[in-house]
Amino acid sequence: MKKGDSIAFFVLIFLIILLPVLSGSTYTLTVGIFSGINALVAIGLCILMGYAGQVSLGQAGFYGIGAYVSSVLSLHIGLPIVISTIFAMIVAAIAAVILSVPALRLKGHYLAVATLGFGEIIYIILNEWGPGGPSGFGDIPHFSLLGYTVDSTTGYFYLIWGLVAAVMFFSINLIHSRTGRALRAIHESELACNAMGLNVVALKIKVFILSAVYASLAGSLYAHYVTFISPSSFSLFYSILVLMMVIVGGITNLWGAIIGAVVITVLPELLRRFEELDVLVYGLILTLSLMFFKKGLVPILIEKIKKLRGFAVAKH
Amino acid sequence: MLSIKEISKSFGGLTALRQISFDVKKGDIKALIGPNGAGKTTLLNIVSGIYQPDNGEVIFLGEKIVHLAPTKIARKGISRTFQHVELFGNMTVIENIMVGRHAKTKSGFFSSGFKLPFVMKEEREIQRKSEEILEYINLGHRKDEYASNLPIGEQRILEIGRALATEPRLVLLDEPAAGLNMRETRNLGEIIKKIREELKITIVLVEHDMDLVMRISDSVTVLNFGEVIADGTPLEVQKNPEVIVAYLGDEEDIPRGYNAHT
């Protein structure tokens, strides 16, 4: 890991441990839990879009697969949650392979539309064939591991953010590896990648699988946390929301995915005081932030820090 | 080393290449020249697998490679550069070279994500080898700059370096001197010669800069309107009347009173 990543990682762990201690309020932790769930999906999309250059408007589909497959398997068949979550990831990975058949032939806007179509197909399937149809179903068991059931808000907070930290650790290592470089190279020039002997097709399929598995994990956690799910949580709106997180945070930086997820999740909560006007203010803030922080929050922050350092060096 | 056998290729009704045949000897610098639109780049694209020819064979080290995908051909030991530079612009100079090492290394998604010990070792090896290549092509001082920030001359040399990182047996250079000034071109010529002499890599060079071609190549093939019109040493080719006509036009085409020496 590079120095900046190590510091950021340390700060992340520190905040995860400290937040429940400092703020015991269930409300704060609940918002934190949802931020964490969204961050998992956003990290996957960030690798897919920001690094490998493959657009996706279908992440809600994978998120929905994670939630439904794990819920149904644990509720109706009685599989342990860990197994049902892993099983859901496998289903999501298979869905990603199927999606990559058209995705390998498409780029840019066309790919966006194809993935959007994929998300809609999953949404329709959940509506038509999912248990409870459009109104969903409940009584989904809580997350449990080795006989220990997580049912407190603090427990979920640690579980989910612990997984965010683990996924982040894996992802940062990946990005700074041979494979990560290859993904970025595909983004830049597929022609040159072919001439270097990179297997572009395999790499693209794998990165789609990776983003799908992250989203599926998030979906399973979501389902077992709220214990009630319906298709409306997995609509196109969610895909767009995740896209927004990644862009607001800064698509070229993995940390941007986490920051973006927290900002986009927390912002509506902070805007509650505006009552009926909250959606309006929300939209306004997003529009303005995209106008003035086009690169995203994290890349701009890094630029600022570099500048400050430059000043400090110049003064000496 | 490389045999082009009766390659034909047309795009729609337009014939780009007609029954092209020639050989490239191991260790040679083979120049491929001809007026614009003669089919030189098309031929390179066929050898590197980007295009499929309508007819004919490409034989590399005794193996037919025409139906292989570009990736497979690259892994057989044919690397290339592009007429329009295809660097990874938003990656640093060293990272560009490091991507070139991809096919020679093997850590994957899982092993990289979990940072297994062998991955760390391999990564250090990639880093070391890439720095070595950068020093070899005299770009060591540019290591951490973004590739897109380099002047065009250095970009073209970096592309050659990236091709070298794949440990090729044969390198195809598509107009490496395009857009370069005289000093840069001379430097480029030195590097190409050095690669052939020290690394024993065979080179096929498509180039318009005749000065460079005549100075460094061992053998020259001239294409005109998709056909081979001459094949030989630089000296032989320069004297070939057909080549002179292709480049300068027929004597009858020259307007009355025009003096070639002014």
Question: What is the residue-wise DSSP string for A249-301?
Answer: H-TT-HHHHHHHHHHHHHHHHHGGGGGGGHHHHHHHHHHHHHHH-TT-HHHHH
Closest by Cβ to B88, choosing from A192, A197, A199: A192
pLDDT at A301: 87
The answer to whether position A147 is within a domain reads yes
**What's the CA gap between A203 and A217, in Å, rounded?**
21
The answer to whether position A304 is within a domain reads no
Bridge partners for B223 per DSSP: B228
Question: Are residues B184 and B153 in contact, defined by beta-carbon separation less than 8 angstroms?
Answer: yes
Secondary structure letter of residue B205 according to DSSP: E
Cα of B214 to nearest chain A Cα, Å: 27
- Number of structural domains, chain A? 1
The answer to whether position A300 is within a domain reads no
Domain of residue A191, residue span:
3-234
Query: Which residue in B168, B155, B162, B160 sits closest to B199, CA to CA?
Result: B168
pLDDT at A108: 83
User: B2-11 and B55-60 as β-strands: parallel, antiparallel, unpaired?
Assistant: antiparallel
CB–CB contact B86 A198 (8 Å): no
Query: Which residue in B43, B78, B51 sits closest to B67, CA to CA?
Result: B51
Compare all CA atoms of chain B with the CA of A203 and give the residue at the minimum distance: B109
Query: Which residue in A63, A91, A66 sits closest to A81, CA to CA?
Result: A66
The answer to whether position A144 is within a domain reads yes
Handedness of CA A102, A108, A114, A115 (dihedral sign): positive
- What are the pLDDT tens digits along chain A (316 aa)? 678 889 999 999 999 999 888 887 889 999 999 999 999 999 999 999 999 999 999 999 999 999 999 999 999 998 999 999 999 999 999 999 999 888 888 888 899 999 999 999 999 999 999 898 999 999 999 998 877 888 889 999 999 999 999 999 999 999 999 999 999 999 999 999 999 999 999 999 999 999 999 999 999 999 999 999 999 999 999 999 999 999 999 999 999 999 999 999 999 888 888 878 878 888 888 888 888 888 888 888 888 888 888 776 665 5
The answer to whether position A298 is within a domain reads no
Test the B interface: residue of A48, A196, A211 with most B CBs within 10 Å: A196
**What's the CA gap between A75 and A89, in Å, rounded?**
17
Handedness of CA A167, A168, A171, A172 (dihedral sign): negative
**What's the CA gap between A85 and A291, in Å, rounded?**
39
pLDDT at A200: 93
Q: Please tell me if residue B105 touches chain A, with a CB cutoff of 8 Å.
A: yes
The answer to whether position A315 is within a domain reads no
Q: Please tell me if residue B119 touches chain A, with a CB cutoff of 8 Å.
A: yes
- What are the pLDDT tens digits along chain B (262 aa)? 899 999 999 998 888 999 999 999 999 999 999 888 888 999 999 999 999 999 999 999 999 999 999 999 999 999 999 999 999 999 999 999 999 999 899 888 999 999 899 999 999 999 999 999 999 999 999 999 999 999 999 999 999 999 999 999 999 999 999 989 999 999 999 999 999 999 999 999 999 998 999 999 999 999 998 899 989 999 898 888 888 888 777 666 555 555 555 4
Provide the CB-side half-sphere exposure for A8 (13 A, CA).
18
Domains along the sequence of chain B with CATH: 2-90+169-253 (3.40.50.300)
The answer to whether position A31 is within a domain reads yes
Handedness of CA A269, A271, A274, A277 (dihedral sign): negative
CB–CB contact B71 A194 (8 Å): yes
Closest by Cβ to B74, choosing from A174, A179, A196: A196
**What's the CA gap between A95 and A102, in Å, rounded?**
12
Query: Which residue in A105, A79, A134 sits closest to A205, CA to CA?
Result: A105
The answer to whether position A297 is within a domain reads no
CB–CB contact B90 A184 (8 Å): yes
**What's the CA gap between B79 and B173, in Å, rounded?**
9
Q: Which amino acid is at A257?
A: A
Bridge partners for B206 per DSSP: B32, B174
- pLDDT tens-digit series, residues A192-221: 999 999 999 999 999 999 999 999 999 999
Q: What is the largest CA-CA distance in chain B?
A: 77
Question: Are residues A244 and A286 in contact, defined by beta-carbon separation less than 8 angstroms?
Answer: yes
Compare all CA atoms of chain B with the CA of A190 and give the residue at the minimum distance: B86
**What's the CA gap between A228 and A75, in Å, rounded?**
11
CB–CB contact A197 B108 (8 Å): no
Question: pTM of the prediction?
Answer: 0.90
Q: Which amino acid is at B103?
A: A
Closest by Cβ to B70, choosing from A187, A189, A194: A194
CB–CB contact A210 B109 (8 Å): yes
Q: Please tell me if residue B121 touches chain A, with a CB cutoff of 8 Å.
A: no
Question: Are residues A203 and A183 in contact, defined by beta-carbon separation less than 8 angstroms?
Answer: yes
**What's the CA gap between B111 and B120, in Å, rounded?**
10
CA distances from A275 to A272, A278, A279, B131 (A): 5, 6, 9, 59
CA distances from B139 to A22, B104, B157, B261 (A): 52, 22, 8, 41
Among the residues of A104-152, which ranges form H helices? 108-129
CA distances from A185 to A180, A251, B99, B245 (A): 9, 16, 7, 44
